[in-house]
């Protein structure tokens, strides 16, 4: 039997250094430029693609079986995919899962996102680890016609994420209420009926499952746009302030977010809780600095040590910038640290219920070791309300 004829490549990934990876395209056709990162999670590709924290990035999935459980409306973290594209080892197969409502290929086409399969993702991941997150151009053309020189030039022309405020692009256009709680068998998502705390959540690119965790912890959540002022926040007379995850350079978003947070801290004693970009916004507001990481942390298996209890949590992460622990001012304590590279993963004020973590305790996808942080936030609001009523 004669060997099968090699397939003509219908997609290519061009790196700014001139390296080109060829493969088979699926999803939307066209071209996009972005920063390239890799994610080591074995599940949750739909949640990853719709996580607003991935704005401006193409995601390489190190796990080869991407697409095997299909997609469904319940697993979207926001209305549309935010990641610019995806790179996988093997072409997605027909899904086999009782929750699947659509194939990944069809979903990507309908949502306008480009993907490439058949890529040596091990080699690509090693290059990212060694050289840092590269700028890339990803193209999909069924005819297989590519202008490689133009694609490399486009990758080199990408401005990069440093100095880029992407929170404005992914935040909500106006305020809204949220009362949906975490998914549970067999009911699925249920609505909160008896909230105990009023919480304002500032949306820098909030994932739906973070909001669900807040609702499940007893919070009546009002979501405000990233550009909300202290007056906007305090007008709701909240019991607590939540600062969400999000994409881009924290220093750029901090130009308008930091003054708001500082103003709230000066005018109110309410508890404050931040996650991911919200963690970085709080750190900047307290006087620390942030730095761009070589290739960031993206995955669902990151060990983090609680410096105060000695316990280790396995966490989900998605960030390309980090708080520089060496710049934390007096009165701000480092509470959590990555056991992969020692980078900062959490802070708190020594004398107030104000704290944040770099990782994602809502764990979608990933382990659920860290849900206690939402309960800690609720307990802090309960304690603060009792103190104020005395």
pLDDT of residue 389: 77
Please choose, from the candidates 49, 100, 59, the residue with its C-alpha nearest in 3D space to the C-alpha of residue 365.
49
Q: What is the mean pLDDT of residues 56-82?
A: 96
Q: How far apart are CA 389 and CA 235, in angstroms?
A: 20
What SS3 class is residue 159? Answer: coil
Q: Which two tokens stand for residue 376?
A: 């800690």
For residues 374 and 216, is the Cβ–Cβ distance under 8 A?
yes
Residues noted as catalytic: 276, 360, 362
Q: Which two tokens stand for residue 19?
A: 């390296």
Residue 59, CA atoms < 13 Å, CB-side half-sphere: 31
pLDDT of residue 96: 93
At residue 386, does pLDDT exceed 90?
no
Which of the four pLDDT bands, split at 50, 70 and 90, describes residue 369? Answer: very high
Q: What is the mean pLDDT of the chain?
A: 96
Distances (CA, A) of 44 to 70, 129, 208: 10, 22, 14
Which strands, in side-by-side order, build the sheet including 176-178? 176-178, 219-225, 197-203, 240-243, 272-275, 354-357, 344-349, 332-338, 289-306, 312-324
For residues 336 and 357, is the Cβ–Cβ distance under 8 A?
yes
- Written as one string, the DSSP assignment of 324-339 is EGGGPPTTEEEEEEET
Q: How far apart are CA 9 and CA 304, in angstroms?
A: 41
Please choose, from the candidates 97, 133, 77, 102, the residue with its C-alpha nearest in 3D space to the C-alpha of residue 27.
102
Distances (CA, A) of 9 to 12, 88, 139, 150: 7, 14, 11, 17
pLDDT of residue 6: 58
At residue 1, does pLDDT exceed 60?
no
Q: What is the mean pLDDT of residues 35-61?
A: 97
pLDDT tens, residue by residue, 154-179 = 999 999 999 999 999 999 999 999 99
Phi-psi region of 76 (alpha: psi -120 to 50; beta: other; left: phi over 0): beta
Which is higher by pLDDT, 183 or 283?
Answer: 283
At residue 4, does pLDDT exceed 70?
no
**Residue 92, Cβ neighbours under 10 Å: how many?**
23
Tell me the whole-structure pTM to 2 decimals: 0.96
pLDDT of residue 3: 46
**Residue 185, Cβ neighbours under 10 Å: how many?**
5
Q: How far apart are CA 109 and CA 63, in angstroms?
A: 22
pLDDT of residue 5: 47
Q: How far apart are CA 221 and CA 141, in angstroms?
A: 44
For residues 137 and 105, is the Cβ–Cβ distance under 8 A?
no
pLDDT tens, residue by residue, 330-348 = 999 999 999 999 999 999 9
Q: Which domains does the chain have, with CATH numbers?
A: 11-157 (3.50.30.20), 167-389 (3.40.50.880)
Q: How far apart are CA 96 and CA 307, in angstroms?
A: 42
For residue 186, say if its preceding peptide bond is cis, omega within 30 degrees of 0: yes
pLDDT tens, residue by residue, 226-253 = 999 999 999 999 999 999 999 999 999 9
pLDDT tens, residue by residue, 174-231 = 999 999 999 988 899 999 999 999 999 999 999 999 999 999 999 999 999 999 999 9
What SS3 class is residue 257? Answer: helix
For residues 266 and 310, is the Cβ–Cβ distance under 8 A?
no
Which of the four pLDDT bands, split at 50, 70 and 90, describes residue 7? Answer: confident
Which of the four pLDDT bands, split at 50, 70 and 90, describes residue 2? Answer: very low
């Amino acid at each position: 039997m004669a060997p099968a004829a090699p397939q003509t490549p219908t997609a290519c990934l061009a790196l700014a250094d001139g390296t080109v990876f060829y493969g088979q395209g699926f999803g939307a056709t066209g071209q996009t430029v972005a920063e390239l990162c890799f994610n080591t999670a074995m599940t949750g590709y739909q949640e990853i693609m719709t996580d607003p924290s991935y704005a401006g990035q193409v995601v390489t999935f190190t796990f080869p079986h991407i697409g095997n459980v299909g997609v469904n409306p319940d697993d979207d973290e926001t209305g549309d995919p935010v990641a610019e594209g995806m790179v996988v080892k093997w072409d997605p197969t027909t899904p086999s899962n009782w929750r699947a409502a659509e194939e990944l290929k069809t979903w990507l086409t309908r949502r306008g996102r480009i993907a490439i399969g058949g890529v040596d993702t091990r080699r690509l991941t090693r290059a990212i680890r060694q050289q840092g997150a590269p700028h890339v151009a990803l193209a999909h053309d069924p005819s297989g016609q590519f202008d490689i020189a133009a694609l490399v030039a486009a990758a080199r022309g990408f401005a990069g994420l440093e100095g880029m405020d992407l929170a404005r692009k992914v935040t909500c256009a106006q305020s809204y209420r949220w009362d949906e709680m975490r998914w549970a068998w067999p009911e699925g998502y249920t609505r909160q009926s008896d909230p105990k705390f009023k919480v304002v959540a500032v949306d820098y690119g909030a994932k739906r499952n973070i909001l669900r965790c807040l609702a499940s912890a007893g919070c009546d959540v009002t979501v405000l746009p990233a550009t909300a002022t202290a007056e906007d926040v305090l007008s709701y007379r909240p019991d607590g302030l939540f600062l969400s995850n999000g994409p881009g350079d924290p220093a750029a978003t901090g130009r308008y977010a930091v003054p708001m947070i500082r103003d709230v801290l000066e005018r109110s004693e309410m508890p404050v809780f931040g996650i991911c970009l919200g963690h970085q916004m709080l750190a900047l507001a307290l006087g620390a600095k942030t730095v761009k990481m070589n290739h960031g942390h993206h995955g669902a298996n990151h060990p983090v040590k609680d410096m105060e209890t000695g316990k280790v949590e396995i966490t989900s992460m998605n960030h390309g910038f980090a708080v520089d622990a060496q710049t934390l001012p007096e009165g701000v304590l480092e509470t959590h640290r990555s056991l992969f590279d020692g980078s900062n993963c959490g802070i708190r004020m020594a004398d107030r219920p104000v704290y944040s973590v770099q990782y994602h305790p809502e764990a979608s996808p990933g382990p659920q070791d860290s849900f206690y942080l939402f309960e800690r936030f609720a307990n802090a609001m309960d304690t603060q309300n009792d103190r104020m009523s005395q």
